[in-house]
Amino acid sequence: MSMAMFIQHLFNALTLGSLYALIAIGYTMVYGILRLINFAHGEIFMLGAYFVFWGVTLLHLPWFLAVIVAIAVTSLTGVLVDRVAYRPLRDAPRISALISSIGVSFFLQNLAIVVFSAIPREVQRPGWLVDIIVVGKVRILPLTLVVPVLSFLLMLGLLFIVYKTKPGLGMRAISKDIETSRLMGVPVNRIIALTFGIGSALAAASGIMWALRYPQLQPVMGVIPGFKAFIAAVFGGIGSIQGAVLGGLILGIMEIMIVAFLPTLAGYRDAFAFVLLIIILLVKPTGLLGEKLEDKV
Amino acid sequence: MLNVRDLHVHYGGIHALKGISIDVPSGKIVTLIGANGAGKSTTLRTIAGLVRKSSGEILYEGKPIDGWPPEDVVKAGIVMGPEGRRIFPHLSVLDNLMLGAYSRTDKDGIERDLEWVYELFPRLKERLWQKGGTLSGGEQQMLAVGRALMSSPKLVMLDEPSLGLAPLLVKEVFEIIETINQQGKTVLLVEQNAFASLKIAHYAYVLEVGQIVLEGTGQDLLNDKRVQEAYLGG
């Protein structure tokens, strides 16, 4: 493989990896606080993508505005899902909320089929994102530069919130000990709502960029990226934000590189992530950066 | 300041409190003593808003506060230091203290109280950037008390603050409780160390299986035959 090809693959890999990472962060944050795998997260990702293209095609909003509005609306949807489907089950056995999340996942998929129809929609992409740039022998899609950079900025913003703000302190406290956090005056339900809001906003950002990269919308588009990002979160160490980012990047890079270097295996592209999941669960169940499991489960 | 009237609590199928009435006057140290499972912790947890009452009243400065979520109870000026200290092991000492101040927005007041906590516990100031989990048991207890004080409470409820500490440290904890009381905080103390807590308490209640069986000034109870036999080792 030529150097030029390799560089192109690398950009593709970083793009896919950052998109996984952004989704994985939502899984890991919710798990870190509630010990809940939010299986509806992939559908939140899907909604983000639909909302933006609705905004652009139906409401004729400018792209920039449509993106902001779509992220905001998706974020609120995530908060609403928590309020309706998880919060009433806060004191129930953990499995109840998990089952509820599977229900929400199917509900949102089917709602999307009703509202958006099951027919795949083509995404009209702004030209400047897809007009190939040629540097020497390397041909690069501008999108594959924009996505990793934007994702990186979003992750920096997230780390700032988690480590430098008061609600972030509340999140870190709740993730360890909900009851004591309440005794210290942390408004737990509001912080949990905020966590869903942030996780959903990042999933929406990922969904929008995903739809630009792979320009087709369909109601089930969140399923496979959702599962893979979940695997990335487990691989990186569920509960750890840095782990989710690392897991997402590694998964994205490996996926692209395996297809690039071993084209005969391209058909197994999706299976690969699940094999990785099985291996990590056998070898290091806490993931790369995960903390030791406590008796909280 | 705090009046609990005929409080009943059912807790996991158990009738944990069967009509408890206690009064905590402003500026005093009041203690609840009793054996394991007598309902001492449940009483504090119900006041703090973690546990729902079945019936009865909890009045704070004349207002009913039962049914309030814990964060509102903290805002109103009642804080609880939970049993087992429960500091956040993965957060720095400073972050632990700042969590105590979570309900507050008055920056200057928070700074002042931080200085006050450093004064009370100079050892915490030396360890501000250390993770809470790396502190010794005694330091963790100081952090737990300091963290509770950071909410600028009028009433401090402490659940077994001397539990699991070496005798020398136990003494220190009770001295601290007296100090913060002298500096204006009302204290509601739950303890198994009946002797030490009765010695510093202005008023005390003895709980047995969810009921108050005896009450009086700390000194009275120290001299009471039944208390001596049951809780002070004869």
Mean of all residue pLDDT scores within chain A:
93
Q: Which of A6-10, A135-139, B25-29 has the lowest mean pLDDT?
A: A135-139
Q: Is the pLDDT of residue A106 over 80?
A: yes
Q: Is residue A291 part of a domain?
A: no
Residues of A in contact with B75 (CB under 8 A): 185
ipTM of the complex: 0.92
Q: Is the pLDDT of residue A296 over 60?
A: no
Q: Is residue A262 part of a domain?
A: yes
Q: Which of A172, A179, A185 sits opposite B50 (nearest CB)?
A: A179
Q: What is the pLDDT of residues A108-132, one digit of tens each?
A: 999 999 999 999 999 888 888 889 9
Domain that holds residue A175: 3-283
Residue B216's domain is classified under what CATH number?
3.40.50.300
Among A223, A165, A287, A77, smallest CA distance to B95 is for: A165
- Nearest CA-CA distance, residue A17 and chain B, Å: 29
- Specify the pLDDT at position A290: 82
Query: Do the strands B14-24 and B211-216 form a parallel or antiparallel pair, or are they unpaired?
Result: unpaired
Residues of A in contact with B151 (CB under 8 A): 184-185
Domain that holds residue B144: 2-231
Tally of structural domains, chain A: 1
Q: Is residue A105 part of a domain?
A: yes
Tally of structural domains, chain B: 1
Q: Is residue A106 part of a domain?
A: yes
Q: What is the pLDDT of residues A14-60, one digit of tens each?
A: 999 999 999 999 999 999 999 999 999 999 999 999 999 899 999 99
Residues of A in contact with B82 (CB under 8 A): 179-180, 183
Chunk chain B into consecutive blocks of 10 residues (it has 234) and report each block's average pLDDT, rounded to whole numbers.
95 89 96 90 95 95 94 96 94 97 95 96 95 94 96 96 92 95 96 92 94 93 88 70
Q: Is residue A51 part of a domain?
A: yes
Q: Is the pLDDT of residue A292 over 70?
A: no
Chain A contact for B100, CB < 8 A? yes
Mean pLDDT of A197-224: 96
- Nearest CA-CA distance, residue B148 and chain A, Å: 7
Confidence of residue A297 (pLDDT cuts 50, 70, 90): very low
Residue A37's domain is classified under what CATH number?
1.10.3470
Residues of A in contact with B147 (CB under 8 A): 184
Q: Is the pLDDT of residue A293 over 60?
A: no
How is residue A129 written in tokens? 């994102």
B71/A218 Cα distance (integer angstroms): 43
Q: Is residue A289 part of a domain?
A: no
